[in-house]
Every structure is written in structure tokens, then in C-alpha cells.
């Protein structure tokens, strides 16, 4: 009886503390590490090695025509399918430039974003420095304006994958 009451109280507390709006999406890089990495390793490495992009669509080595359909039945559910598909598409479309040029000091892009950066109205800033990443990168590591733009876009995309609305 006591146990049943406790369960009841916990249930009421859970309902009361539920957010009124939909819970934010899971951090996609965390999802990958939790659910996919044990078989496929690092997401970016996997995407670049085993997937390719043709006509704007993602293709696998085995699942060429309908990779999106395959993913619907492969460890993903609901809106995770689109989100993970888009993440892999972006990774397969780009070289591993963050890894090659930045990770010696900043680890992976996802880790760097989680530790140091935040989105404000869709624009990326240093969480503690308060600096705009777009402005900062114009004077960091001798990046050209094109490269500063490239890395700002890359980190902004990763921040959207990490901090999903
Ligand atoms: C227990 C191991 C395992 C886990 C966990 C796993 N996969 Fe897979 N995955 C496989 C195997 C094995 C294949 C190859 C199957 C095939 O080609 O029919 C595969 C194939 C794929 C492919 C297609 C590759 C190609 O070349 O066609 C993608 C994309 C993929 N997995 C993504 C994911 C994602 C995203 C997750 C996590 C949400 C995940 N996998 C979790 C084992 C796993
Ligand atoms: C040799 C080490 C090193 C490399 C390589 C490096 N950085 Fe940095 N980065 C730093 C240091 C140190 C800081 C902090 C500087 C400061 O606060 O003025 C920093 C700061 C930053 C910040 C600002 C963070 C904030 O809090 O405002 C961004 C964004 C950034 N780096 C991106 C990059 C990108 C993108 C690359 C690859 C093109 C890169 N970094 C390569 C050392 C490095």
C-alpha cells in the first residue's frame, strides 16, 4: 500500500514538473554517441567514409536509393530521423576541416560548442567571452575571410544540432 502511494506521489510530481511546452530535442551528437557510435564510430568520420551525396541526397554504400527510409527502421524514431539524416548529409558534404585545423586545441566541434559557445537569436557567441564567433574568427589563426565564414557556418550548424529547439 505504501509503495503504491509513493508511486502515486511520484507520478503526480512528474506530471506537475512536466514543461508546458514540448521538451527540446535531444543533442544529436549526444544521441549519436549514445546510440550509434558503438557500431559506427565517430559520426563525421562515418559519414565521410561510408556515405556520399548525390543530387543533394544522402546515399549509403548498401542503402543507396532510400537511406532515409532505412534510417526510419534503424535505431531512430519520429523527428530524430530527419535530424540525424540532415546531420549526416552536412557531414558527408564537407571535408573534416574542424578536425584537421582546430581539434588539436578545441577537441571535437560538438564538445567545443557545448563547452564554450551559445546561440542567441540564431547567432553564435562565446558563452563566457560574449564575443560574436563570426567577428572573432576573422582574427583567429590567420583565417581568410572565406575560411572565417566557413567555420562560423560550420560551428553554427553544429550548435543547432547540439541545442535543438
Ligand atoms: C548494433 C550495431 C548498430 C547500431 C547501434 C547502429 N547501427 Fe547503423 N548499421 C549497422 C549495420 C550492421 C549496418 C549495415 C546494414 C546494412 O547495410 O544493411 C548499418 C548501416 C547503417 C547505415 C547505412 C550504411 C550504408 O552504407 O548503407 C547508416 C546511415 C546507419 N547505419 C546509421 C546509424 C545510426 C544513425 C545509428 C544510431 C541511431 C545506427 N546506425 C546504429 C549497425 C548498427
Ligand atoms: C593552437 C591552438 C588553437 C587552434 C589550432 C585553434 N584555436 Fe580557437 N582558440 C584558441 C585559444 C587559446 C582561444 C581563446 C583565445 C581568447 O580567448 O582570446 C580560442 C578561441 C576560439 C574561439 C572563441 C571562443 C570564445 O569563447 O569566444 C573560437 C570560436 C575558436 N577559437 C574557433 C577556432 C576554430 C574554428 C579553429 C580552427 C580553424 C581554431 N579555433 C583553432 C586556440 C586555438
Task: Tell me the C-alpha distance between 148 and 138, whole Å.
Answer: 5
- The CA 67 to ligand 2 mean position distance, Å, reads 36
Instruction: Report how far residue 90's alpha carbon sits from residue 87's, in angstroms, rounded to the nearest whole number.
Output: 5
The pLDDT value recorded for residue 8 is 54
Of the listed ligands, the closest to the CA of 155 is 2
Ligand 2 centre distance from Cα of residue 140 (Å)? 7
Nearest-angstrom CA–CA distance, 23 and 10: 19
Ligand 1, residue 59: give the atom nearest the CA: 27
pLDDT tier at 3 (50, 70, 90 boundaries)? low
Ligand 1 centroid, distance to 19 Cα (angstroms): 33
Are the C-beta atoms of 156 and 121 separated by less than 8 Å? no
* 86 Cβ contact list (under 8 Å, min separation 6): none
Residue 144 Cβ contacting ligand 2 at under 6 Å: no
Q: Is the pLDDT of residue 16 over 70?
A: no
pLDDT band at 25 (very low <50, low <70, confident <90, very high): confident
CA-CA distance, 110 to 27, in Å (whole number)?
Answer: 9
Ligand 1 atom at minimal distance to the Cα of residue 58: 29
pLDDT at 5 over 60: no
Q: Is 105 in the pocket of ligand 2 (CB under 6 A)?
A: yes
The residue among 154, 32, 39, 26 whose CA lies nearest residue 79 is 26
How far apart are alpha carbons 109 and 115 in whole angstroms?
Answer: 10
Give the whole-angstrom CA distance, residue 121 versus residue 123. Answer: 6
Ligand nearest to the CA of 144: 2
Task: Tell me how far apart the alpha carbons of residues 24 and 9 are, in angstroms, rounded to a whole number.
Answer: 26
The yes-or-no verdict on residue 30 having pLDDT over 80 is: yes
Amino acid at each position: 500500500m505504501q509503495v503504491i502511494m509513493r508511486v502515486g506521489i511520484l507520478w503526480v510530481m512528474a506530471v506537475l514538473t512536466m514543461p508546458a511546452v514540448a521538451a527540446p530535442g535531444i543533442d544529436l551528437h549526444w544521441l549519436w554517441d549514445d546510440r550509434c557510435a558503438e557500431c559506427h564510430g565517430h559520426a563525421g568520420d562515418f559519414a565521410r567514409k561510408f556515405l556520399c551525396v548525390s543530387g543533394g541526397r544522402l546515399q549509403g554504400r548498401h542503402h543507396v536509393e532510400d537511406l532515409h527510409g532505412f534510417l526510419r527502421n534503424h535505431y531512430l524514431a519520429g523527428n530524430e530521423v530527419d535530424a540525424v539524416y540532415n546531420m549526416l548529409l552536412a557531414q558527408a558534404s564537407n571535408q573534416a576541416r574542424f578536425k584537421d585545423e582546430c581539434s588539436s586545441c578545441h577537441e571535437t566541434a560538438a564538445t567545443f560548442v557545448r563547452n564554450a559557445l551559445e546561440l542567441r537569436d540564431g547567432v553564435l557567441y562565446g558563452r563566457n567571452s560574449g564575443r560574436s564567433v563570426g567577428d572573432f574568427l576573422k582574427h583567429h589563426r590567420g583565417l581568410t575571410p572565406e575560411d572565417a565564414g566557413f567555420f562560423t557556418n560550420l560551428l553554427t550548424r553544429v550548435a543547432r544540432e547540439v541545442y535543438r529547439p
